């Protein structure tokens, strides 16, 4: 029981609940101002910050309550009550909460707290890879749902027979980028193809790129002469994600080769604004990547996650397992992973990233 109390005190120091409560109270005063909604973007940031603070205070309270409950059960056990099952369940709950706290402590990067922009592209292989890209899209949308994050589809291109040719969407939530940055790279799927009449085993690839949704206060210089802006009619299957007017926007940035598309909004003006926001975020991430490459030694580069790196394999035949090649993390329940349970992989990546930083510093 001593170890449980020690963990509880440590979490209390980390969360500093009284300071967070004071900040919540100051934010409440801002929210109650008559002109609070005059600046929509700033208002959303304040509300997002308030929610994060409230979540932290709630976690701190749950840790203290779990510690008290375990202490009470141990007291009952000393009195001869049969409470072993209850103690085991409470310890498991506390362990899960402490694991989440540890992940929280690992998110200390410059952009880790920002929202994320995620892009998925299938590799070579036609329908097989396009179907795999759609499976990844579903996986990330389910992951976001599990965490209570909001997602918005910016661009979705359907495949001819099945799957998708590409997808770009935002994930809005505290530290969405810091968590999803672990997913950058190439994802490999091994399975019996549902599109092969001979039921042969196929290997498919799809790439995932994640950039932070940067604040507009950060200046990214974009020259008009470096751009080509095209308008076009959506060629998707329709539905809630795309429109059927000539308001879709495609922006090509010649120096970087980056192409962004937005067709989610009915207004061409809105699509243009969103496309520029995505372009700015991708250019910002590209610049950060260049700086990282310049500052890191060759030895550390082996552990970096580049866009072309194969980072994870999802094997559905002849056995079922998901393995991350960077951290060696393995999970046997592949279906659960594909349903959005990615937290173990994300935490393992963050731990490896921290250890690499410590090694570099020493």
Model pLDDT for residues 280-302, shown as the tens digit of each residue: 888 888 877 776 665 443 334 33
**pLDDT one-digit tens code per residue, 105-151:** 788 777 888 899 999 999 987 899 999 999 999 999 999 999 999 99
> What's the whole-model pTM score?
0.66
In the chain, pLDDT over 70 holds for what percent of residues?
85
**pLDDT one-digit tens code per residue, 60-85:** 888 888 888 899 999 999 999 999 99
Q: In this predicted structure, what is the pLDDT of residue 244?
A: 53
pLDDT higher at 5 or 185: 185
pLDDT at residue 12 above 90? no
283 within 8 A of 253, measured Cβ to Cβ: yes
If pLDDT is split at 50, 70 and 90, which confidence band does 305 have? very low
Domains and CATH numbers, the chain: 2-106 (1.20.58.410), 116-296+306-361 (3.30.70.1660)
Average pLDDT of every residue of the chain: 83
Q: In this predicted structure, what is the pLDDT of residue 94?
A: 84
Q: In this predicted structure, what is the pLDDT of residue 309?
A: 65
pLDDT at residue 9 above 70? no
């Amino acid at each position: 029981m001593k170890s449980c109390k020690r963990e509880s005190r440590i979490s209390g120091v980390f969360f500093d609940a009284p300071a967070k409560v004071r900040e919540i109270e100051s934010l409440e005063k801002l929210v109650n101002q008559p002109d609070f909604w005059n600046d929509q973007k700033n208002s959303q940031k304040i509300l997002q910050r308030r929610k994060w603070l409230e979540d932290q205070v709630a976690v701190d309270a749950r840790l203290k309550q779990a510690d008290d409950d375990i202490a009470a059960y141990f007291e009952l056990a000393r009195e001869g009550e049969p409470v072993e099952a209850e103690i085991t369940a409470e310890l498991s709950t506390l362990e899960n909460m402490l694991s989440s706290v540890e992940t929280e402590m690992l998110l200390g990067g410059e952009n880790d707290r920002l929202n994320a922009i995620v892009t998925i592209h299938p590799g070579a292989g036609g329908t097989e890879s396009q179907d795999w890209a759609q499976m990844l899209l579903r996986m990330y949308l389910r992951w976001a749902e599990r965490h209570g994050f909001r997602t918005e589809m910016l661009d979705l291109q359907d495949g001819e027979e099945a799957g998708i040719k590409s997808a770009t969407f935002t994930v809005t939530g505290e530290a969405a980028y810091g968590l999803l940055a672990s997913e950058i790279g190439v994802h490999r799927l091994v399975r019996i193809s549902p599109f092969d009449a001979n039921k042969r085993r196929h290997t498919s690839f799809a790439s995932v790129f994640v950039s932070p949704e940067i604040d507009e206060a950060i200046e990214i210089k974009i020259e008009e002469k470096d751009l080509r802006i095209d308008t076009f009619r959506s060629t998707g299957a329709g539905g809630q994600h795309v429109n059927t007017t000539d308001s879709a926007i495609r922006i090509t940035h010649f120096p970087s080769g980056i192409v962004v598309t937005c067709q989610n909004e009915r207004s061409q003006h809105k699509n243009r604004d969103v496309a520029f926001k995505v372009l700015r975020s991708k250019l910002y991430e590209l610049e950060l990547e260049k700086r990282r490459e310049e500052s890191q030694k060759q030895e550390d580069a082996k552990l970096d996650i580049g866009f072309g790196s194969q980072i994870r394999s999802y094997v559905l035949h002849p056995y079922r397992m998901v393995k991350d090649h960077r951290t060696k993390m393995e999970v046997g329940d592949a279906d659960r992973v594909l349903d959005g349970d990615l937290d173990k992989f994300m935490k393992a990546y963050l731990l490896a990233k921290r250890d690499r930083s410590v090694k570099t510093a020493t």
